[in-house]
Amino acid sequence: MGRWSARRIGLALAAPVGALIIAALITSIILIVTGHNPLETFGALVDAFSRPRTVVNTINVGATYYLAAVAVAIGFKMNLFNIGVDGQYRLAAFMAAAVGGAAFMTSLPGPLRIVVTIAVAMLVGAAWAGVAALLKATRGVSEVISTIMLNAIATYIIAFLLKPARLGVAEGNNISTAKMTEGGFVPTIPLGLQGAPPLYSLVFLAVIIGVIYALVLTRTVFGFSLRATGLSESAALASGISVKKMIVVAMLLSGAVAGLVGMPELLNGPDHAFGLNFPAGIGFTGIAIALLGRNSPLGMVFAALLWAALDASSNSLQSVQVPRELVTIMQGVIVLSVVVAYEFVRRYRLILDARAVASALAAQASAKQVTSK
């Protein structure tokens, strides 16, 4: 058993470690070709973490990335490619900000205002994902096509509503929803570190979502049904699982978690409103992180922190005259390397399993021959 456990651990570590090594080698080649020193570049990225600001930003951004990855991973477990997380979280954050900053909310107790804001975000995210779910379950429309289209529609809805005549408030060159007053947002955690921003308290929301995701997948009938349907729809149908129902429920849950993606920035960020500068593109980052983490609750933690660390340390490249875009190249190379590395490991595991089965059968046949004699 120890040998097999060691082999499993080795195979589990081989893919991510191998992918990082491959990505480092490819990035080094790119740096050399463009006339930059790889050692100086990687050294600048590492040195950036001697500054508390970089570490705290990595944790704050990593929590947001993790929420996006979980939203994507729920769909992946069902073989559903929810590309619409980006539109779902932006529309959810916009509507939650509009409700959270509304005048009637000031009459509610602070904790209740926060709960209502988060609930609105989850409901809007789930509803927007539900459109794609219903199209998939009732008409067989590919969720890839429908969610891409819904992303664009969400963008235009926000652009239409974010105007002073509607839900927008003009402040100089910026337009945003009405700012939430104190009591409507969540206090941050001051760390007292020189030059470091406060820690987002909603980092713990990401932790809670990760724990719930892990428990649902491994400890509930729904989690088993989700994984079984993703592995084989025909087998799931044969065992009495309603595939259409699972599609709808999985997409609704994915959208609800997507609705939480914008909450750390909205409730912990400095603006406490949805404006033109509200972060975009996090949904697509979540796809990459879910792939990197193999949809594993723990694997996505490391993937989210790695992605956030590269983002947070990218400014340090200016000290060695390297463009910040190199970080984007590195992130893309890491994703491709992970896909290739996991495929190699998968094939190697199949070969080892086949050899183990062949050895067991040969031993069994040999034992029968000895017994017959």
Q: Which residues contact 23 (CB under 8 A, 6 or more apart)?
A: 330, 333, 334, 337
Q: Note whether residue 26 is domain-resident.
A: yes
Q: Note whether residue 41 is domain-resident.
A: no
Residues 28 and 106 in one domain: no
Q: Which pLDDT does position 119 carry in this prediction?
A: 98
Whole-angstrom distance, CA of residue 264 vs CA of residue 270: 10
Residues 96 and 14 in one domain: no
By the 8 A CB rule, do 177 and 121 touch? no
Q: Note whether residue 49 is domain-resident.
A: no
Identify the segments of the chain with pLDDT beneath 50.
1-4
Residues 87 and 203 in one domain: yes
Q: Which pLDDT does position 58 carry in this prediction?
A: 96
CATH number at residue 134: 1.10.3470
Residues 94 and 6 in one domain: no
Token duo for residue 171: 């402040």
By the 8 A CB rule, do 226 and 78 touch? yes
Q: Note whether residue 236 is domain-resident.
A: yes
Q: Which pLDDT does position 372 carry in this prediction?
A: 66
Residues 10 and 146 in one domain: no
Q: Which pLDDT does position 373 carry in this prediction?
A: 61
Nearest to 285 by CA among 132, 129, 66: 66
The number of distinct structural domains making up the chain is 2
Q: Which pLDDT does position 328 carry in this prediction?
A: 84
Residues 109 and 138 in one domain: yes
Q: Note whether residue 65 is domain-resident.
A: yes
Q: Which pLDDT does position 320 carry in this prediction?
A: 82
Q: Which pLDDT does position 2 carry in this prediction?
A: 45
Other CB atoms closer than 10 Å to residue 117's CB: what's the count? 25
Exposed / middle / buried, residue 369 (Cβ in 10 Å: 0-12, 13-18, 19+): exposed
Q: Note whether residue 158 is domain-resident.
A: yes
Residues 361 and 260 in one domain: no
Q: Which pLDDT does position 1 carry in this prediction?
A: 43
Residues 13 and 30 in one domain: yes
Q: Note whether residue 46 is domain-resident.
A: no
Nearest to 101 by CA among 211, 185, 219: 185
What is the pTM for the complete model shown? 0.91
Q: Note whether residue 253 is domain-resident.
A: yes
Tens digits of per-residue pLDDT, 143-182? 999 999 999 999 999 999 999 989 999 987 889 999 999 9
Residues 354 and 227 in one domain: no
Amino acid identity, residue 24? A
Among 305, 321, 337, the domain-final residue is: 321
Residues 190 and 227 in one domain: yes
Residues 25 and 114 in one domain: no
Residue numbers of the domain that contains 17:
1-36+326-367
Residues 65 and 15 in one domain: no
Other CB atoms closer than 10 Å to residue 161's CB: what's the count? 17
